[in-house]
Amino acid sequence: MDLHLAGKTVLITGGSKGIGKAAAEVLAEEGCNLILVARDATLLEQTAAGIRSQRQVNVRTIAADLSSDAAVRKVAEEAGPLDILVNNAGAIPPGDLLSVDDAKWRQAWDLKVFGYISFCRVIYAQMKARRAGVIVNVIGSAGEKFPTNYIAGAAGNASLMAFTRALGKGAPADGLRVVAINPGPVETDRLVMLRRAEAQEKFGDAERWRELTAGMPYGRAATPREIGDAVAFLASPVSAYTNGTVLTIDGAG
């Protein structure tokens, strides 16, 4: 399916692996030029080189820690004009209220919650001036399900859901769209690592980690590609009337 994205410039935070990498690969297939941002310069370049070897698109990388407004503004300036922003960086640690201290909570929110907000603030202004652009926030279904043992993530994700809907509500007047995706469990390297550790503890065999996903819808977690496909669709003109919406992709789990 042609999503009419060829030639668009897309910046993806957390673009070196997992959902960010998958979204980059899908968007490259659609002919987009990419700017990938993450902390690890080596891993970023490996991802970029893999995409360049498969697709005739321009792929730039910017290694940066996006946990401060100053860093976000520096990256945005280096990136230049964008057609699409995909906010995807950040992993909030698990734990209940008594086990996640203020320092961990604030550090995680600085990158994911305030990082998303800061990037939106800068890029939205640029897009508004041109009256064209789409912002896709990859958030997480904990913002809907409120797990007690992931309280910082639940609260942060719920905040970003409200932020997306509020920003999207005014976006049509500026010629823009703002949408979000709430993935449930996704088979990223991080999830596999956690499940392997859990299987080792529970079964004495890390290789049995897939047994821990048997109770999920369809007996598995989502693949990064399934989320990446949704990012591309929502960012595209094919989805031009979708705005202020949060799409949950969790198999109804």
- Higher-confidence residue of 219 and 194: namely 219
Whether the full predicted model's pTM is greater than 0.75, yes or no, is yes
Per-residue pLDDT at 1? 78
Residue 152 within a domain: yes
Residue 180 within a domain: yes
Residue 170 within a domain: yes
How many angstroms separate the CA atoms of 91 and 112, rounded? 7
DSSP codes, 53-108: HH-SS-EEEEE---SSHHHHHHHHHHH---SEEEE----PPPB-TTTS-HHHHHHH
Structural domain including 106 reads 9-186+222-246
Residue 2 within a domain: no
Average of pLDDT values for 33-48? 98
Residue 252 within a domain: no
Average of pLDDT values for 21-43? 98
Residue 161 within a domain: yes
How many structural domains compose the chain? 1
Per-residue pLDDT at 89? 96
The gap from C-alpha 121 to its chain's centroid, in whole angstroms, comes to 17
How many angstroms separate the CA atoms of 253 and 142, rounded? 12
Residue 182 within a domain: yes
Per-residue pLDDT at 97? 97
Indicate which CATH number applies to the domain containing 50.
Answer: 3.40.50.720
Q: Each residue of 81-137: pLDDT tens digit?
A: 999 999 999 989 999 999 999 999 999 999 999 999 999 999 999 999 999 999 999
Q: Each residue of 151-191: pLDDT tens digit?
A: 999 999 999 999 999 999 999 999 999 999 999 999 998 88
Residue 4 within a domain: no
Average of pLDDT values for 221-238? 98
Pairing relationship of beta strands 177-183 and 59-63 according to DSSP bridges: unpaired
194 has a pLDDT exceeding 90: no
